[in-house]
Amino acid sequence: MKILLTGATGYIAQRLLPVLLQEGHQVVCCVRDKNRFNIHQFPSANLSVVEADFLDEKSLTNIPDDIDMAYYLIHSMSSSGGKFEEMEATCAENFKNRIEETKAQQVIYLSGIDNEEELSKHLSSRKNVESILSDGKFALTTLKAGIIVGSGSASFEIIRDLVEKLPVMIAPQWLKTRCQPIAIRNVVEFLKGVILRKETYNQSFDIGGPDILNYKEMLLHFARIRGLKRRIMVVPVMTPRISSYWLYFVTSTSYALAQNLVDSMKIEVICSPNDLASSLGIKLIGYDDAIRLAFDKIEQNQVLSSWKDAQTSDLLHKGLTKYMEVPVNGCYVEVRRLPIENEEQVLTNIWKIGGKQGWYYGNWLWEIRGFLDQLVGGVGMRRGRKSETEISAGESLDFWRVLIASKSEKRLLLYAEMKLPGEAWLEFKIEKGELVQTATFRPLGLWGRVYWYSVFPFHGFIFGGMIRNIASSHS
d(CA 208, CA 187): 8
Which residues, other chains included, contact 380 with Cβ-Cβ below 8 Å and sequence gap of 6+? 370, 371, 373, 374, 399, 418
pTM (2 decimals)?
Answer: 0.75
Do the Cβ atoms of 285 and 189 come closer than 8 Å? no
d(CA 200, CA 202): 6
Q: What is the pLDDT of residue 319?
A: 61
Which residues, other chains included, contact 202 with Cβ-Cβ below 8 Å and sequence gap of 6+? 134, 139, 140, 141
Query: Does residue 82 have a pLDDT over 70?
Result: no
- Amino acid identity, residue 50? V
Residues in the chain: 475
Average pLDDT over the chain reads 85
Q: What is the pLDDT of residue 132?
A: 95
| Architecture of the 313-471 domain | 2-Layer Sandwich (3.30)
Residue 475: pLDDT band with limits 50, 70, 90:
low
Among 81-85, 369-373, 450-454, 465-469, the range of highest mean pLDDT: 465-469
3-state helix, strand, coil in the chain (%, to 5): 40, 20, 35
Helical (H) or strand (E) element with 406: strand 400-406
Query: Does residue 80 have a pLDDT over 50?
Result: no
Nearest Cα neighbor of 201 from 143, 141, 132 is 141
Q: What is the pLDDT of residue 72?
A: 96
Phi, psi torsion values for 130, nearest 5 degrees: -60, -40
Q: Which of 8-22, 212-226, 346-360, 380-394 has the lowest mean pLDDT?
A: 380-394
Residue 238: pLDDT band with limits 50, 70, 90:
low
d(CA 349, CA 409): 15
Do the Cβ atoms of 466 and 439 come closer than 8 Å? no
Domain ranges for the chain, please list them. Answer: 2-307, 313-471
Residue 256: pLDDT band with limits 50, 70, 90:
low
Digit-coded pLDDT (tens) for 2-47: 999 998 888 889 889 999 999 999 999 998 888 778 787 888 889 9
d(CA 196, CA 68): 9
Residue 252: pLDDT band with limits 50, 70, 90:
low
d(CA 329, CA 332): 9
Q: Tell me yes or no: is domain 2-307 CATH 1.10.3720.10.
A: no
Q: Between 169 and 180, where is the model more confident?
A: 180
Enumerate helices (H) and strands (E) in the chain, giving the number of each: 15, 19
Q: What angle do CA 244, 245, 250 make, to 5 degrees?
A: 105
Q: What is the three-class DSSP state of 442?
A: strand
Q: What is the mean pLDDT of residues 323-336?
A: 86
d(CA 91, CA 129): 9
CATH topology of 2-307 equal to that of 313-471? no
Among 24-28, 368-372, 376-380, the range of highest mean pLDDT: 24-28
d(CA 320, CA 217): 41
Q: What angle do CA 458, 429, 419 make, to 5 degrees?
A: 45
Digit-coded pLDDT (tens) for 157-171: 788 888 888 888 887
